Copies of this chain bind each other. A is one copy, B any other.
Amino acid sequence: MTSMDVIVSLCKRRGFVFQSSEIYGGTGSCWDYGPLGVELKNNIKRVWWRDFVQRRDDMVGLDASILMHAMVWKASGHVDSFTDPMVDCRECKRRFRADQVDELAWTHYCEATKGNKFTIPAGEACRHCGARRTLCPECGKGQLTAPRQFNLMFRTFMGPVEEDASVTYLRPETAQGIFVNFDNLLQSTRRKLPFGVGQIGKAFRNEITPGNFIFRTREFEQMEIEFFVNPHETIDGRPADEHWHDRWIAEYQAWFTRYGLRPDHVKLHEHARDELAHYSKRTVDLLYHFPMGWSELMGIANRTDYDLKQHAKFSGKSLTWFDEERKEHLVPFVIEPSAGVDRALLAFLLDAYREEEVRGEKRVVLRFHPELAPVKIAVLPLLKKRPEIVAAGQDLRARLSRRWVAIYDDTAAIGRLYRRQDEVGTPYCVTVDVKTVGDLGKGEVGDQRVTIRERDSMQQIRVPTAELESVFARLLGDAAWADVAAAYPTADG
């Protein structure tokens, strides 16, 4: 199991993830994606969009705004019900989630030891006086209020005047942008059921206890699908919504493992009846084996016709689909696979991370799927002091970067350069050496071949520079390394 600390440290050092506003002490709940992190994150989003929106013929995309009309959140139930029960300390005014307060270590001024201050682990009693926690766990002095509901939406004001009429919220989920556009989507695309709408975008929740790095943050990015089905239709003897619910669960299990999650690190969690949200007929979570334990990677809910009916009721607009066969207007059911970009990225990072021993030395390698790797090709010169080698390397990078993310690095010796690329998951390194360019001063003409090194096997082959585009088109397409490498002589490691 890779520890979170190891990943957090690697992420900062190599430019994957920085703490937001770090120079001001951070916000404790938002993170910034650095030069490698933004490429990794964009790759996850791009592959998701391609696989789930562009390649399918039953999906379209949408990009709705973050700020919407406040009525959207009234209709969706978020204004009234998107709350956590919280308790306040009457003394120090600190606020705690009511369901978590008993899980905190607590401060105790022990009278049996003349008022000495102790910090006592959650759930335990004082060893001196036997007291258990009844007061504020933080200051140890104030009474806690009875639990009250607090809304988790970020509130703001649209327009220059801060008054009730202009209150709105940062969206706590992207889903509602799809529901309120249902009729626009139908009119502009002429779709028939079943069809789905995919959307990627930021959402915001004023979490009481953000934490575990980018797992639970107040600002995060979602990849959501609302897949609309005809509830009167039957597929293989079952209602269409139940059929599609199972299909989407299977699609996502396959997707996450295709791009690098270990199958034994992913499992399903079926929500029990008392866990289900009020709108849900059935919800299944995909759990991932995070360092802090099995936790939600994504959820797949059958939201029934709840949302469309709520918005029809609150807006007075008809949000139905006309079934040509049955000649009737109906409100579709919706299956919602809802995944978080940040959580997916964290899981891919954790399962990609390996510490290996190579010739007695530790090698850290991120075994990213090539589609997810931030950098596809690193061009490295074997000798920095030979200007022809440097120039050839820079030319190659410029050429390869027409099609792939390619970088050039000459700031260390070759062994160190390889390790740097391993550590950020670059699948291929191209090395330019003396043999490539020859030595014109000695009348030597180079062989115009370079070494390609594969990250996981560390195997090296010698390839004519003229063939690099076709070789990488195969390697970064569907071809296996072994199949491509077989056509070329191997080079020394």
Contacts and interface: CB of A to CB of B under 8 A. Distances in A.
A29 B177 CA distance: 15
B68 A20 contact: yes
A234 interface: no
A334 interface: no
A181 B66 contact: no
Contacts of A33: 62-64
B315 A188 contact: no
B218 A18 contact: no
A394 to B, nearest CB: 7
Contacts of A157: 154-155, 206
A184 B22 contact: yes
B156 A12 contact: no
Contact of A63 (B29, B41, B62, B68): B41
A110 B181 CA distance: 46
A304 to B, nearest CB: 20
B170 A156 contact: yes
A371 interface: no
A402 B56 CA distance: 10
A27 interface: yes
B311 A35 contact: no
Given A25-B69, A27-B158, A158-B29, A64 B20 contact: yes
A395 to B, nearest CB: 11
Interface in A8-53: 12-15, 18, 20-27, 29-39, 41-42, 49
Contact of A64 (B14, B32, B86): B32
A86 B311 contact: no
A interface secondary structure, majority: mixed
A39 B189 CA distance: 14
Interface string A85-126: 010000000010000000000000000000000000000000
A35 B62 contact: yes
Contacts of A12: 184, 188
A326 interface: no
A67 interface: yes
B158 A155 contact: no
Interface in A289-306: none
Contact of A54 (B23, B66, B311, B401): B401
Contacts of A22: 180-181, 184
Contacts of A190: 411
Contacts of A27: 65, 67-69, 158, 168
Contacts of A274: none
A34 B65 contact: no
A320 to B, nearest CB: 13
B402 A180 contact: no
27 contacts: A20-B64, A20-B65, A20-B67, A20-B68, A21-B71, A23-B180, A23-B315, A24-B72, A30-B67, A30-B68, A33-B63, A34-B184, A35-B188, A35-B197, A36-B188, A42-B49, A55-B401, A57-B408, A65-B219, A66-B202, A67-B204, A84-B160, A95-B160, A154-B156, A154-B158, A157-B206, A190-B411
Pairs A-B, 5 closest by C-beta atoms:
A15-B188, A21-B69, A35-B60, A30-B65, A23-B315
